[in-house]
């Protein structure tokens, strides 16, 4: 059986982070949480995640700057990075995709659909089975 996918969740809002963790852990994913860019870099370097879910409004750094840093880390170009943030302005989604994100999930999230939205971005399991 395949190990559960490891998702690095970069979110500074405690309530959002706890909700996302709960939903993803209930679906069988291993979650590593980081409330800021420093923790995100450390977690990424400690063990390569299968996916990064990242808020774009982080303390002290814009999410796109952190995406560029992640892309420069060993293995960083192979890990999907998904922006999870509110559509603040017209063109933000396109800006995030052009800036190195592989996808976009808008806040506020719909809890019933969140896990399936995230799963669209996970690399396929070669065996065809998803572990839980």
CATH code of the domain in which 82 resides: 3.40.50.2300
Per residue in 41-60, pLDDT tens?
999 999 999 999 999 989 88
Q: Specify if 81 maps to a domain.
A: yes
Q: Specify if 129 maps to a domain.
A: no
pLDDT band of residue 91 (cuts 50, 70, 90) is: confident
Q: Specify if 131 maps to a domain.
A: no
Catalogue the E-assigned strands of the chain: 6-10, 30-34, 51-54, 57-58, 61-62, 81-86, 103-107
CA-based end-to-end distance of the chain: 9
Q: Specify if 58 maps to a domain.
A: yes
| Percent of the chain scoring above 70 in pLDDT | 89
Domain count, the chain: 1
Q: Specify if 69 maps to a domain.
A: yes
Q: Quick one: pLDDT at residue 2?
A: 46
Residue 117 burial (C-beta neighbours within 10 Å; 0-12, 13-18, 19+): middle
Q: Specify if 127 maps to a domain.
A: no
pLDDT band of residue 10 (cuts 50, 70, 90) is: very high
Q: Quick one: pLDDT at residue 28?
A: 94
Residue 114 sits in which domain range? Answer: 6-119
Q: Specify if 15 maps to a domain.
A: yes
């Amino acid at each position: 059986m395949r190990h559960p996918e490891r998702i690095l969740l970069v979110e500074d809002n405690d309530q959002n982070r706890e909700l996302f963790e709960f939903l993803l852990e209930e679906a069988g994913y291993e979650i590593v949480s980081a409330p800021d860019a420093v923790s995100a870099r450390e977690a990424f370097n400690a063990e390569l995640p299968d996916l990064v879910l990242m808020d774009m409004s982080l303390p002290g750094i814009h999410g796109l700057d952190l995406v560029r840093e992640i892309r420069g880390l060993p293995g960083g170009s192979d890990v999907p990075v998904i922006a999870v943030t509110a559509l603040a302005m017209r063109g933000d989604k396109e800006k995030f995709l052009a800036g190195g994100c592989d996808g976009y999930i808008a806040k506020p999230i719909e809890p019933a659909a969140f896990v399936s939205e995230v799963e669209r971005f996970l690399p396929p399991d070669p065996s065809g089975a998803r572990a839980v």
